[in-house]
A and B are shown apart, each in its own frame.
Chain A
């Protein structure tokens, strides 16, 4: 895939995540015990030999810079190519303009300079371990201008309402693309991942910018249906669309299913992240852990069930953690009870404090908070 450039576009809508996204963009949300959401997108591309990857960071840039740095964990710290981080362009007096089109426009020189002739654009809040080598081959062999990647999603509970829905003809060419309202149980779910020829991409971006509309690449693609050869490639694996707290919580707990964790963590390449040099996790004689994912550096003295425990977490004696996500370096002290909750990093839940949400709406504790009984 030498001639394909990877683009991670964010254009984030982060107000669906409450305090979890006060200080970080959605793609920097901790995920799966030791990762950030963006790790999955980057690793997937690196595992399919994309050697130039650009990320549009969005506004809350600090955690991004700290985590991605020069791209070393993904082997993207190359002399040439490698990882490029693009901070948002700010227009005089108007702040950051809406949408990713203006951001692409502001980095036009980058696209002109790189030698790659095709582009993979993806959204990091969709988790899908796509066999990109195969999908890229389909894109090239079908001589399409654009290949959209979709998943035949089944949704009986309305979890995927407001996701993108596609209508395709028999040869998988795009007829229409719109918003899923849940009228059908199974639909073609566009997972915000697409291959484009670079010249087509630049044409779309420039024409949209000149007309002032649309603001988002996906809308631009939709407007050009019929004018360009746009087809679709079906991804048959596990998809998570992380668009709010509930889907974020569910996506984490889905990793407790063996087939899901096999696919996400092991099959088709490793997931890379910034490493932390934590020792192994220690379980005491009194600990009682079931059906959980536990990262390194934890000390578990209490009971943990159906939960995701991040690096360096401490669970005290007689403490109970159930159906919860406990992020890095958080302490659950002796006798505390945490059920159906998401505890952000470096928080402290004091002795004998009880906190509980419901599985429909998990209780959230902001990072660095100290929760006491008073």
Chain B
């Protein structure tokens, strides 16, 4: 008797709980869908920055306190050592700079001869990183500067090693940046040695970038340095992005897939450089493509399209990576013509 009454009570309890559960589940799913499709989260975070910023500040407190203690406890010997090392590095870098400025002048003269316009100035701003772990499954960092400090969405950030990523969300005093290794990120690159252009996609793993759909004929090797190509105008040209670690054929065997190691330090460093002014990139037929977007392919033009099967070295740098289907369609077009 007692059991029966308790079980009926439990049943009614669960029934009264199931309806709210369903309501909340539906609400959460709708939220997730709208966020996934329309990026509502970003707008909400901008609006609620007054609430979010103090919490971020609070979360970064332990690590800041730790670094404060670390500074206090630094011994005289350690400071002297690091000072000596920095002076040494400065001398090496200065010597390199002297050479670079000579080369830069020469480069400018040559460009003048070619009547190529290029504004070489690049303004950067030093910004510190707020030490909070946003989401371990995404490669994002919080910068300690926002709209008030002149940060804008789309600005490139880099560190001493190379390109780090770009700003995606800005609130009053904070900004969120997407790192080049995030799975949602793609950056137009170029092999420094041969000029072959490609796009490096993030993988979600802080130690690797992926370059897909490389034609077999492309001039790219293990150990090649990838630099930003400046296509699309978002990233300034010529800065290191990654080094090719491995090249392997993809599933179809027609193209190659490259794995690269990022040049910038992907773990949370202390400070980064925010690129203020982006050099307008020279007009070029190639444009940045998204993984799903179709790059322009020259069909029926005077020059024959580059076929992936031919092993001859293309003198002209190839287009951005072309999906296999596009090349095939192109080749068919070519065959149809007499």
Answer yes or no: do A and B interact: no
